[in-house]
């Protein structure tokens, strides 16, 4: 019985995070409401409030889930080629519909997303970059992690332009050698 309840909660959470992304894509981060998120998630607003008290908490959870999912994909790719993993990350970040909406309409929010901080999401992003680099067999100094992370974050502001070539240069710069 607990397993069914846990599965239902996981499905609801997944729907909420997807609804949040689609609400930002449709309305923008500032204008989207909890009602918008609930409607796009296909759940009652009260159910949403049982999981999250504010849209900022929903957004943080959506970013966390997105980072973790992208990390898993990129770690698998990095086992073969770091440049390929970095190009994948850059392309996904640069083409994410919600991030594109924020980049187009909300420069203050964009600046917040692109500014390194001591907040947990930045810690997760740094850890994720480190994990991808470890999977590629590359040394992980703070400088190399920050170099890769800052390069990736630049794609929040602008979609990837020849990400594969750039990724090859970044991979070489952090010690992966030519692809």
Residue 179: the pLDDT is: 47
Residue 20: the pLDDT is: 97
Residue 76 lies in a domain: yes
Residue 65 lies in a domain: yes
This prediction has a pTM of 0.88
Residue 8: the pLDDT is: 84
Length of the chain: 179
Can you give the residue range of the structural domain that contains 130? Answer: 2-173
Q: How far is Cα of residue 168 from the mean position of the Cα atoms in its chain? A: 21
177: left (phi over 0), alpha (psi -120 to 50) or beta: left
CATH number at residue 159: 1.10.357.10
- The burial of 2, by beta-carbon neighbours within 10 Å (0-12 exposed, 13-18 middle, 19 or more buried), is given as exposed
Give 10-residue mean pLDDT values along the chain (179 residues).
76 95 96 97 96 94 95 97 97 94 88 84 94 96 94 88 92 79
How many domains does the structure of the chain reveal?
1
């Amino acid at each position: 019985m607990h397993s069914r309840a846990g599965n239902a909660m996981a499905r609801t959470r997944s729907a909420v995070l997807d609804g949040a992304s689609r609400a930002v894509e449709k309305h923008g981060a500032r204008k989207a409401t909890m009602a918008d998120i609930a409607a796009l998630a296909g759940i009652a607003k009260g159910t949403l409030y049982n999981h999250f008290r504010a849209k900022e908490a929903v957004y943080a959870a959506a970013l966390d889930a997105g980072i973790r999912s992208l990390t898993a994909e990129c770690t698998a790719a990095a086992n073969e080629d770091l440049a390929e993993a970095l190009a994948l990350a850059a392309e996904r970040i640069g083409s994410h519909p919600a991030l594109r909406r924020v980049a187009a309409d909300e420069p203050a929010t964009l600046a917040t997303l692109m500014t390194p901080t001591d907040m947990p999401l930045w810690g997760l992003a740094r850890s994720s970059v480190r994990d991808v680099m470890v999977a590629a067999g590359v040394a992980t100094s703070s400088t190399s992690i920050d170099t890769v992370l800052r390069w990736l974050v630049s794609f929040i502001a602008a979609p990837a332009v020849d990400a594969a070539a750039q990724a090859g240069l970044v991979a070489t710069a952090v010690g992966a050698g030519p692809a």
